[in-house]
Structure 1
Amino acid sequence: MAILRHELRIIGTMPGTTLFGIAMPIVLAALTQGLFTSAVPAGSADGTGGAELAVPGMAVAFAALGAGRSGFAFFRDYGWGTWDRLRASPASTLDIVVGKVAPWVLMSLVQMLGLFAAATPLLGFRVSGSWPALVLVVSATALCLCTFGALMTAVSRTSQQLNSISGVCGLAFAALGGALVPLSALPDWVDTVAPAFPTYWAVRGLHAVVLDQGGLPDVAAPTGALLAFTALFALLTTARFRAGESKVYWG
C-alpha cells in the first residue's frame, strides 16, 4: 500500500497524462464516428450510431497503446537510483510489482470511464445496456492490459526498448483486435487472428453492452477471456521478472 500510494502521488503530479487519455480519444472518435456509422451491426439498439462504435473502440485502443506506462514506474526507480533501496525494504518482489502496476490499472479505468462520460454530452454517445456490465468489462480490460505492461517491462532492458515494444504491441493489439477499425472493415484473415488478442474480447464485451443492451450475463465470456489473458501475462511476468537484473533508464 505504501508503494501504491507513492505511485499515485507521482501520477497526481502529471494531470496532463490523464486529460490526454480522455481528450485525444474524444477527438478521434468525433472525427471518425461518421465512418463508423456504416459498420453498425443490424439489430443494434434503436438510435445506435457511429459514436457507439467509435467511442468504445478508441477507449480500448488508447488503453492498449498506454499499456507500457506502468513499466516506466520501474525504470524511473532505476534512473533515480532508488531501485536497490526499494528491494532492501521489507516489500517482496510481488509487493513491488503489484504496488507499481495497480495505480496504472486505476488510471486506465478512470480514463476509459471518463471517456464514456465525456462522450455522452459531446458526441451523443449512449449505453443501451447495463452500466455495471460496462464497468466490469472496462475493469477487466484495464487489469489485463496493465498486466501485459508488466510483462513488457520484464523483457525490456532499457526504457527505450520498453517504449518500442509497447508501441508496436499496443498498435497491433488496437488494430488486429478491432478497436481502431471495426473487424467488418478489415480483411477476412483478421477475423481468424483477432481472438488471439485481448482487445478483441474487450471490444466484444463493450459492444454487447453498448450496442446490444447487454447485462452481466452477456459479458461473462469476454470478461472470462480477459481474465484468462491476465493470468497468462501474470504467469509469464513471474517467470521472466528478475528484481536483481540491471536495467537502464533512457538507455
Structure 2
Amino acid sequence: MRSEPAPATARRTWAMTRHTVVLLVRDPGTPLAYTVMSLVLLSVLHPVYDRLAGPSVPGIVQAAPGIAVMFTLLALDVAGQLLLSERTWRTWDRLRAGPASPTTVLTGKTLPLMALFLAQQAVLFLFATAAFGFPLTAGTWRLPLLALLWAACVTSCGLALGVHARSQGQLAAASDIGALTITCLSGCLVPLTVLPHWVSTVAPATPGYWALHGFQAAVLGDTTAYAHAVAVIAAITVGAFLIAVDGIRR
C-alpha cells in the first residue's frame, strides 16, 4: 500500500478537489436539471401524498424526503462520469501512476460531489419548508447530518460504478436502472402502504429505504429509527468507497 506524508496527501487531495470542482462547474446541466425537476415533481405530487399518507406520517414528510432521495439517486451517473471521463480523456493511467494514493484520488473527487448532493437536498428541503410546511426545524442537527451522510453514500456508490463501468452506455444503464429500481422498491416515489406486500419485504435491502426513513425519523423525533438508519447508510457508504478504492488498485 502506498504511504504519503500528511502534508503531501493534503496538497494532492486539494489539487484533485480543485480539478473536480472545475469539471463540475463547466458542466452543471445535469445536477441543475435534477434539482429543478425535483421541485416540479414535489409541487405536483404533494397533494397525492397528503391523500395517501397514514396517520403517523404527514404527506409532506413522506413527499419531500422521498423525492430528495430519488433525485439524489438519479445523480449517481454524475459521480460515475467523473471517473469514466478520466479514462475517456486518457488521463486515468497518469492518475494511477502518479504519487497520489487511490484513497487520495477518490477523496479529492468525493468532497465536491458531496457538496453538490448536499446542496441539491438543501434546495429541495428549503423549498418544501417555504411552500408546503415541511417541519425543517424539527429535524434539528439530525436532518443535516443525515443529508451529509446520504450525500457521501450516493457519492461512494457513484464512484464505485464509475471505476468499474467500461463505457458511457454501461454507466448510464447501471445508474438509471439502479436508481429507478431503488426508488420504487424503497417507497420513495409511492408510499409502501399502497404497494404490493412483497415490496415492503424487500424494501429494507435498498439504501433508499433507510435514507427515507432516516429523514422521516429525524423530523418526527424517532431517535431509535434514526440511529438505525444512520448505521446502515454509514455501512453502505464505507463498503462502496472500499469497492471504488479496490477498483482503482486493480
Q: 1:111 matched to which residue of 2?
A: 120
Q: 1: CA distance between counterparts of 2:104 and 2:235?
A: 22
Q: 1:5 matched to which residue of 2?
A: 18
Q: 1: CA distance between counterparts of 2:31 and 2:81?
A: 16
Q: 1: CA distance between counterparts of 2:32 and 2:140?
A: 23
Q: 2: CA distance between counterparts of 1:43 and 1:123?
A: 18
Q: 1:131 matched to which residue of 2?
A: 140
2:231 to 224, 237, 240: 224
Q: Do the aligned residues in 1 keep the contact of 2:80 with 2:171 (CA within 8 Å)?
A: yes
| 2:73 equivalent to 1:88 | no
1:98 to 107, 124, 130: 107
Q: 2: CA distance between counterparts of 1:166 and 1:18?
A: 14
Superposed CA deviations along residues 105-158 of structure 1, whole A, max 9, x for unmatched, are 221111001111122223333336223101111111111121111221232111
Q: Do the aligned residues in 1 keep the contact of 2:35 with 2:71 (CA within 8 Å)?
A: no
- Cα offset for 1:11? 1.4
Over 6 Å off, 4+ runs: none
Q: 2: CA distance between counterparts of 1:134 and 1:17?
A: 25
Moved more, 119-128 or 107-116: 119-128
Q: Give the residue type in structure 2 aligned to 1:35.
A: V
Q: 1: CA distance between counterparts of 2:171 and 2:179?
A: 11
The structure with more helix, counted as a fraction of residues = 2
Moved more, 167-176 or 98-107: 98-107
Q: 2: CA distance between counterparts of 1:88 and 1:135?
A: 37
Q: Do the aligned residues in 1 keep the contact of 2:121 with 2:147 (CA within 8 Å)?
A: yes
- Cα offset for 1:218? 5.1
Q: Do the aligned residues in 1 keep the contact of 2:110 with 2:156 (CA within 8 Å)?
A: yes
- In angstroms, what is the RMSD of aligned CA positions? 2.0
Q: Do the aligned residues in 2 keep the contact of 1:67 with 1:146 (CA within 8 Å)?
A: yes
Structure 2 gaps of 5+ residues are 1-13
CA 225–145 in structure 1, closer or farther in 2 if over 3 Å, else same: same
Percent of pairs with identical residues: 33
CA 15–123 in structure 1, closer or farther in 2 if over 3 Å, else same: farther
TM (normalized to structure 2)?
0.87
CA 197–39 in structure 1, closer or farther in 2 if over 3 Å, else same: same
Moved more, 214-223 or 90-99: 214-223
Q: How many residues align?
A: 237
- Cα offset for 1:224? 0.6
Q: 1:248 matched to which residue of 2?
A: none
Q: Give the residue type in structure 2 aligned to 1:41.
A: G
2:153 to 135, 140, 144: 144
Q: Do the aligned residues in 1 keep the contact of 2:96 with 2:248 (CA within 8 Å)?
A: no
Q: Do the aligned residues in 2 keep the contact of 1:147 with 1:234 (CA within 8 Å)?
A: yes
Q: 2: CA distance between counterparts of 1:143 and 1:122?
A: 27
Q: Do the aligned residues in 2 keep the contact of 1:133 with 1:216 (CA within 8 Å)?
A: no
